[in-house]
Structure 1
Amino acid sequence: MNTNASTELTPRPVDDPGVEPHVLSYRASDPEVDKEAERRVIACFGLSALFALSSVVIYFAVPHTIAIRVGSFDGNLHNVLFGVTMGLGILLIGLGVIMWARNLMNDEELTEERHDPASSEETRTEVLVMLSDGVRDSGVARRRFLMGSLGGALGLFALPLIVTLADMGPWPTKRVRQQTIERTLFAEATPQKPIRLVNDVSWKPLRAADLEIGQLVNAQPENLRELHDVEYQQAKAKSSIILVRMDPDSIKIPESRRDWQVSGILCYSKICTHVGCPITLWEQQTHHLLCPCHQSTFDLGNSGNVVFGPAARSLPQLKIGVDGEGYLIATQDFTVPVGPSYFERDSRNDFKEGDA
């Protein structure tokens, strides 16, 4: 209703009907009905908590290998049960809140005068009073068990969400790291059973005599071809290497790595130590290898040391040799983990400028 004086004098086409007298709802007029409505809301929150706990039990107890087929539906029993229990938990919280609003909160209708957009101090104070009245009408203060059931439902529903974090992978203990991210396919090599290095496109074994000075070759361990699908991709992401041949008189080879090369042929990980990008931009004259992602630059003529860019660690070098037929081989794994850094990584064995 507009309080402007000129509008007050203007005849209205329809009389203001006002607000009808407030009639107590059926629930408000009968305390037993009010208690019954409260019990239904508590039941919803309680069942939601049970479904949340059930989803956690299902996550650990139901195997991931059981298939379920109903008509044209073909799925995984673990995923179906976990999704259904989580979905029912969310649904019951929503139903409980809706029933609370419809059946337990005050249903009295109110009117207020239309006012200017800028609220006065009195109006702001009035709004705070209205908010306090709303909290009182919601019954929060006197329905403590109801609030407890809502808090319990919401709190327990967080459990299945936290449990799903386990799908991100195994906990990175030292033993798990040694068996996964810190291990490549070259770990299967031994002096008695070496692994040949092959071209990553043709899969042909690489002969030392065929590499020319200045040439860079992208390569893989020969046993990579034995893997398939996810295992293949995971292994390739760690075992990718580059072979480069340089004039032995133009490069620095520390005493500790004298037997890691074959007539100037050196082998390094292809994975940048910054964020894990594959590196192949080769500068023959400077012996530098440039990462295309963030321009980290490694000196392959000096044990893969970083000479520019954000990378903080040298490029891991792989010890190589030749077999009786002249093919390049590996007889051991990298001495340090390949790829980007991580919190638990031990960097004490990383090669640094000046190491012997």
Structure 2
Amino acid sequence: MAHDDDSQALERAYQPSPGLGVAVSDPVQNPGLPPHRERMTDKDPKAEKRAARTVYTLFYLSLAGSIWAVAAYMLFPIEDESLLSIRYNNLFIGIGIAFALLCLGIGAIHWSKALMSDKEHIEMRHPTRGTDSTRDAAIEAFADANEESGFGRRTMIRNSLLAALVASIIPGVTLFRGLAPHNNAGGNPIAGDPVALLQQTMWETGQRLVRDPDGTPIRAADVTLGSAFHVIPENLSTLSHSDGYLEEKAKAIVLMMRLRPEQLIETEERKDWSYDGIVAYSKVCTHVGCPVALYEQQTHHLLCPCHQSQFDVTDQAKVIFGPAARPLPQLPITVDDEGYLVARDGFNEPVGPSFWERH
């Protein structure tokens, strides 16, 4: 009897008090789906045909935009020295690619909204098994999707979409042509050979190191401990912009620093490449060619700001961090009779990125 009294007391304790205003409601009912509204393309065959024409017209316009981007690359060659041609090259190629992708995207969206199946479907959850029935169901699902989208039977839309997708890749592939040097009219034997072009700079024996950009020669005595100089070859000033000044400077730029001689780790063959702790390395990063222009005086590290490759100045500019694949090429230096820093020779390897074949 005592047990029954306790049970009744617990039931009364868990019942809501009338003064609290708590009401017991029924479970939330499933409201169901809203009434289906048919699209105009579902009710009017003419509207459906107009929508189909719009979709494949957009896809063909995308195809035309991709072709125009390739044509613009040829009509306005970036290899010309004309600044106007370079601007037109960037402008019209960009317009062509943007137009192609815009038409492709709008066409795909209009297709999905106006022509693909607009009916609601309920997919029951079930365990995933790799059985024959599961594979058969997957095949059936693909078949249903093909039927609902009309991909198989709407040949104009399908063909125009495939053509636009294939053509959208072509401008990007075409632009890779501009990465490689081209043969010139002068019959230069190294034209078209990137390894030879990047190895041949304006540095040569006896060429003075001068400040960039004013061209002031640099005395070894003026290079203080811990300092860094942006350096170009003196003979670079003889070139005009039309003679390839920028191209030659891009290959020949050098960063020169002074450390204590005992801090340098040098191989036997490179003992005479430095002068009293002064070393010079190419500024062109061996990853993708960005200028390595950030020098950390305390750690003696060179940092590339593009992708954070780091090079150890004390140890032949070896890579200590980042995606660069090889050390920065070192420029052998010494001094002339007047105490000015000069190059012993040019670089003994091609400068720049490491994705070309090198011998």
TM-score greater than 0.5 by the shorter chain: yes
- Report matched runs for 1:1-356 at 5 Å: 19=35, 30=45, 34-35=48-49, 37-63=51-77, 65=82, 67=84, 76-107=87-118, 109-110=119-120, 119-120=125-126, 133-166=144-177, 170=181, 175-179=193-197, 181-187=198-204, 194-198=206-210, 204-206=216-218, 210=221, 218=229, 220=231, 221-223=233-235, 231=246, 234-235=249-250, 238-242=253-257, 265=276, 268-271=279-282, 277=292, 290-291=300-301, 293=303, 294=310, 296=312, 298=314, 316-318=330-332, 320=334, 322-323=336-337, 325=338, 327-330=340-343, 332-338=345-351, 341-346=354-359
RMSD in angstroms over aligned alpha carbons? 5.5
Q: Which amino acid aligns with 2:312?
A: S
1:60-99 CA deviation, whole Å, 9 max, x = no partner? 113554859xxxxxx9433333333333322322333244
**In structure 2, do the counterparts of structure 1 residues 92 and 253 end up closer, same or farther at CA, with 3 Å as the change threshold?**
closer
Q: Would the aligned equivalents of 1:215 and 1:244 in 2 still touch at CA under 8 Å?
A: yes
Q: Would the aligned equivalents of 1:55 and 1:86 in 2 still touch at CA under 8 Å?
A: yes
SS of residue matched to 2:203: helix
Q: CA deviation at 1:313?
A: 5.5
1:184-243 CA deviation, whole Å, 9 max, x = no partner? 3314x5xxxx432346799654456x5899898747333456679993995486333357
Q: CA deviation at 1:278?
A: 5.7
Q: Would the aligned equivalents of 2:66 and 2:96 in 1 still touch at CA under 8 Å?
A: yes
Q: CA deviation at 1:148?
A: 2.1
Q: CA deviation at 1:164?
A: 3.3
Gaps of 5+ in 1: 1-5, 69-74, 284-288, 347-356
**In structure 2, do the counterparts of structure 1 residues 18 and 338 end up closer, same or farther at CA, with 3 Å as the change threshold?**
closer
SS of residue matched to 2:209: strand
SS of residue matched to 2:208: strand
Task: Write the distance in 2 (CA, Å) between the matches of 1:212 and 1:34.
Answer: 78
Q: CA deviation at 1:153?
A: 0.9
1:290-349 CA deviation, whole Å, 9 max, x = no partner? 4355573646xxxx597x9579669635254524x4544336423334567555233xxx
Q: Give the equivalent residue in structure 2 for 1:351.
A: none
Q: Which amino acid aligns with 2:196?
A: Q
Task: Write the distance in 1 (CA, Å) between the matches of 2:353 and 2:278.
Answer: 18
Q: Would the aligned equivalents of 1:218 and 1:243 in 2 still touch at CA under 8 Å?
A: no
| Percentage of identical aligned residues | 23
Task: Write the distance in 2 (CA, Å) between the matches of 1:77 and 1:309.
Answer: 41
**In structure 2, do the counterparts of structure 1 residues 24 and 199 end up closer, same or farther at CA, with 3 Å as the change threshold?**
closer
Task: Write the distance in 2 (CA, Å) between the matches of 1:204 and 1:66.
Answer: 29
Q: Would the aligned equivalents of 1:238 and 1:338 in 2 still touch at CA under 8 Å?
A: no
TM-score (ref. length: structure 2): 0.57
Task: Write the distance in 1 (CA, Å) between the matches of 2:223 and 2:349.
Answer: 28
Q: Would the aligned equivalents of 1:206 and 1:328 in 2 still touch at CA under 8 Å?
A: yes
Task: Write the distance in 2 (CA, Å) between the matches of 1:45 and 1:213.
Answer: 65
**In structure 2, do the counterparts of structure 1 residues 218 and 244 end up closer, same or farther at CA, with 3 Å as the change threshold?**
farther
Q: Would the aligned equivalents of 2:332 and 2:344 in 1 still touch at CA under 8 Å?
A: no
**In structure 2, do the counterparts of structure 1 residues 84 and 282 end up closer, same or farther at CA, with 3 Å as the change threshold?**
closer
TM-score (ref. length: structure 1): 0.57
Q: Which amino acid aligns with 2:254?
A: S
Task: Write the distance in 1 (CA, Å) between the matches of 2:211 and 2:38.
Answer: 86
Q: How many residue pairs are counted as aligned between the two chains?
A: 297
Task: Write the distance in 2 (CA, Å) between the matches of 1:199 and 1:23.
Answer: 75
